[in-house]
Amino acid sequence: MDGPGTDEAVLVLVTHHIVADGWSMVPLLRDLSAAYTARRAGRAPDWEPLPVQYADHTLWQRGLLGDGDEPDSILANQVAFWRDALSGSPEELTLPTDRPRPAVASREGGWVPMSAPADLHARLTELAVAQGATTFMVWQAALAVLLSRLGAGQDIPIGSPVAGRTDEAADDLIGFFVNTLVLRTDLSGDPTFAEVLGRVRRSALGALGHQDVPFERLVEELAPTRSRARHPLFQILLAVQNVPSAAIDLPGLQVEALSTELGRAKFDLDLHVAERFDDEGVPAGIDGGITYAADLFDRSTVQSLIDRLLLVLRAVVADPAQRVRDITLLDPADHHRVLTEWNRTERAEPAATVPDRFRLQAARTPDAQALVADDARMTYAQLDAASDRLAQYLTRHGAGPGRLVAVAMERSPETIVALLAVLKTGGAYLPVDVGYPEARIALMLRDAAPTALLTTTGMADRLPAAAGGPPRIVLDDPSTRAAVAAQDAVPTATPAHVDSAAYTIYTSGSTGTPKGVVATHRAVDRLVRPADYADLREEDVVSHLGSVSFDSTTFDIWATLLNGATLAVGPAGSPSVADIRDYLARHRVTVALLPTGLLHQVIDLDVEALSGVRSVLTGGEALSVEHCRALFDALPGTRLMNGYGPTESITYTHTHPVTREDVDSGRAIPLGRPLARTRAYVLDTALRPVPSACPASCTSRATASPAATRAVRA
């Protein structure tokens, strides 16, 4: 009671699930109503004796199933069915979560309601009848389609409760009869929705015919890998309620049911659907909602899943013959947002070639430091003149527009001069890492067929035999030095076009034979002008620690030199963390580009090595949240930028400024937004856009899900 004199009361009836299930509410509330009515009339209730008791049911079930050790028993046969039905089923689905799964589930949960109007309800019913299925089967197929399209794969196990009251004598019993079945949905082979629904029907009927094995016994028999982080065999539950309405009638009182949210989640996602019908049995709408694990999902993400599920349902009732890959998950507004609004990355400044950009910068800041190293310094004017002399020399030795020149040199200022000189001839450079196996270098030279190969005395012996290869120009040979020095420091007369090749870099070959990727001047210009994501300033000193055979050094070198900063050329070879600390401090590096693996190593071993660095750029693999936290804890003023992009798209297509909020959110570090003059689309396996509300994990784990990222240079 709320208090003396009030006429409202709340009755809370608490039962453990072990003694009552959802169907039990009907006889329980009926008995409560009968008892209240009788006591109000001053008499004891007149109970009708039940034909069977719950104990009778348990004994009957035990006798029916028999001993699992007996090969001919029903239990053994049903276990064998499930062993076959669930063979190869994924133990954990890749779901579009907002956060990584914790080691131990907290069971904290939330609830998002869902409703569908009468017209959709009616059409779902019509579809089920037309396909010889049930409404539940339509929901299962639609839910599986949604999860698959959001990256969960083509084999979707979904749990579903069954009433377990296979005998009418049990209808009036209060007890726990319910069991849980695991229903797999096969979406392989580019099926139509009608075909998926047919597969669901066959799977569900087979499961219902073998529904007597208690779920706990099934888990024991199948022995999946157990984890405190997730539910075994399935993580998604679907329940379409067909339990008779549990009504309560208390004379003299107006009674209404109150909904409660316990804030607990047993599964990752628990979808409950209840159908409503009018007095004539006509579909009147659908109510329900999703209970979700707060460890994994935000409420907004679950709301988006509900919105997408309703889109799928409307699409399939309109045309069940359409293929799953063609079912849209975007409404018109989202479609416009993903394809148009998020790709407004144009810049008014026209593209230019690398030599043209460099000449303009050298003219603006001729006396500024362009290159620094342990044993050398060059101003912009000196670098411009040195590269012009070498370009004139190379032109006389066959370099020019449309031709490749291989550069096999260690990291040094002379290497930067050589790269710029090749570009000034109008040609393109092919960087060759002399640390590569001889067979790989031979493949690159044979495949690319460069006009010449620039190298140094110390590197020449580490290259494949010269027979049949390009002519070599040994730049530190005294005669070559003298010949280059004799050239006039004037621009060549054959400049490249913005769509001419600037360089060719070979992929790692981790998925097959290495392949050459050609980058145009326009592509390099897109990366470095403007380099606002790096916040580059003319007073900055930028690190150069990578091999020029890695596409990441495109940013090191050209973003620095085309924006007037200073490139600090690191020592040759693979420096240790101690070497990196000394190098960064000695050259007063303010902007450091470190591959993710190397950054993790520096943070682990000596995070203070980065104390003088204002801005850190990283990329190449997934950035660890814990390493970001350690960096921010030790050096809170550091600006950290996460970059993403395949070699084919020239270093970066996306960047994201990592914040303390990113670290504290528990989510994976985002890939970010596209760079200027870059259009980027997140696509599924059918090359259709993924919804904007799909969380980061749906798009960033491309190796773990069918989601893929495609970037197009503008």
Output the DSSP codes for 657-678.
EE-HHHHHH-SPPP--EEPTTE
Q: Residues 503-515: pLDDT tens digits?
A: 999 987 777 788 9
* pTM, to two decimals: 0.75
> What pLDDT does residue 347 have?
81
**Contact between 345 and 674 (Cβ < 8 Å):** yes
Whole-angstrom Cα distance, residue 79 to residue 658? 50
Task: Pinpoint the alpha helices (H) of 71-162.
Answer: 74-85, 118-130, 135-147
Q: What one-letter code names the amino acid at 225?
A: T
Q: What one-letter code names the amino acid at 714?
A: A
Whole-angstrom Cα distance, residue 503 to residue 405? 9
> What pLDDT does residue 19 have?
79
Residue appearing with tokens 């769509």: 499
Alpha-carbon distances, residue 39 vs 254, 508, 653 (angstroms): 18, 83, 75
Q: Taking CA 708 as the corner, what is the angle to CA 703 and CA 713, rounded to the nearest 5 degrees? A: 125
> What pLDDT does residue 702 have?
31
Token pair of 474 as six digits: 């040994």
Beta bridge partners of 272: 239, 289
Q: How many Cα neighbours within 13 Å face the side chain of 37?
A: 13
Alpha-carbon distances, residue 701 vs 150, 475, 643, 648 (angstroms): 12, 45, 15, 19
Whole-angstrom Cα distance, residue 523 to residue 518? 10
Whole-angstrom Cα distance, residue 639 to residue 540? 14
Please identify every stretch of the chain with a pLDDT value under 70, giving residue numbers as ranges.
Answer: 1-5, 56-57, 60, 68, 164, 166-170, 242-245, 261, 466-468, 493-494, 692-714
Cβ neighbour number for residue 437 with a 10 Å cutoff: 9
Task: Pinpoint the alpha helices (H) of 543-686.
Answer: 553-554, 560-561, 577-586, 596-606, 625-634, 660-665
Dihedral, CA of residue 9, residue 15, residue 21 and residue 26, to nearest 10 = -40
At residue 533, φ and ψ (nearest 5 deg) are: -65, -25
Token pair of 619 as six digits: 């990329």
Q: What one-letter code names the amino acid at 600?
A: H
